[in-house]
Amino acid sequence: MMEYTLIKSKRKTISLEIKSDGQLIVRAPNRTTRREADAFVKKHEEWIAKKRRLITARREQARSVPMLTDTELKALADKAKAVIPARAAYYADRMGVRYGRITLRCQKTRWGSCSTKKNLNFNILLMLTPIEVIDSVVVHELCHLFEMNHSARFYERVYAAYPEYDKWNRWLKEHGSELLARAGLR
Ligand SMILES: [Zn+2]
């Protein structure tokens, strides 16, 4: 029998949770007996094992990602300064839009943002991505100067300015978290 911690409460159904250290938690209604909880765990043994393998694999992967050194981060910041404002100026000109200031930072969650004061902000880790990804993020933020939302109208503008947007946005979705992990920021 697998070991687990049983937590009873006023809930109506039984559920399983696996902590990041692999510990199994069974949450169950107050009236649940040990025997019922055992049976529930037994029935889901395969699912639990699979989930635990996944957690281990993720942890291993995170450990194998090489962290960026301070020197490397500084180099990325310098490169971002040379590349991003130029890309923003190029697309803004084509789109006929003006923006305020551009700030470049190393951030944990976002690749870019646009303030209501029309200032743009970009993540220097974009320098680890293909130029097409940088352009797609730049265009995304520039389109927010017209539409401060993610409506259909917003995306119409995005696609008009950057037809390959979806392809590179997908690239960022697939590889983004790994890149953010390299900065040691998660
Ligand atoms: Zn957006």
pLDDT, average across residues 33-46: 96
What's the burial of 15, exposed, middle or buried (CB within 10 Å: 0-12/13-18/19+)?
A: exposed
4, 41 contact by CB (below 8 A): yes
Give the whole-number percent of the chain exceeding pLDDT 90: 78
Same domain, 173 and 85: yes
Domain that holds residue 163: 70-182
Please give the sequence-ordered ranges of beta strands (E in DSSP) within 11-57, or none if there are none. Answer: 15-18, 24-29
pLDDT value for 47: 94
Q: Which residue, 31, 64, 97, sits at the end of a domain?
A: 64
Instruction: Please give the mean pLDDT across all residues of the chain.
Output: 92
- Rounded to the nearest whole angstrom, what is the distance from the C-alpha of residue 48 to the centroid of ligand 1? 37
**Number of neighbouring beta carbons within 10 Å of residue 157:** 20
Model confidence at 48, pLDDT cuts 50, 70, 90, reads very high
Model confidence at 71, pLDDT cuts 50, 70, 90, reads very high
- Rounded to the nearest whole angstrom, what is the distance from the C-alpha of residue 59 to the centroid of ligand 1? 30
Which pair of structure tokens corresponds to residue 8?
Answer: 């009873």
pLDDT value for 186: 38
- Rounded to the nearest whole angstrom, what is the distance from the C-alpha of residue 45 to the centroid of ligand 1? 41
- Rounded to the nearest whole angstrom, what is the distance from the C-alpha of residue 103 to the centroid of ligand 1? 16
Same domain, 80 and 123: yes
- Rounded to the nearest whole angstrom, what is the distance from the C-alpha of residue 156 to the centroid of ligand 1? 13
Is 6's pLDDT higher than 80?
Answer: yes
Say whether pTM exceeds 0.85: no
pLDDT, average across residues 24-41: 96
Same domain, 23 and 59: yes
- Can you tell me which residue has the tokens 């943002």? 113
Structural domains counted in the chain: 2
- Rounded to the nearest whole angstrom, what is the distance from the C-alpha of residue 175 to the centroid of ligand 1? 18
Same domain, 81 and 159: yes
Same domain, 52 and 107: no
The string of pLDDT tens digits covering residues 127-150 is: 999 999 999 999 999 999 999 999
What's the burial of 56, exposed, middle or buried (CB within 10 Å: 0-12/13-18/19+)?
A: exposed
Model confidence at 62, pLDDT cuts 50, 70, 90, reads low
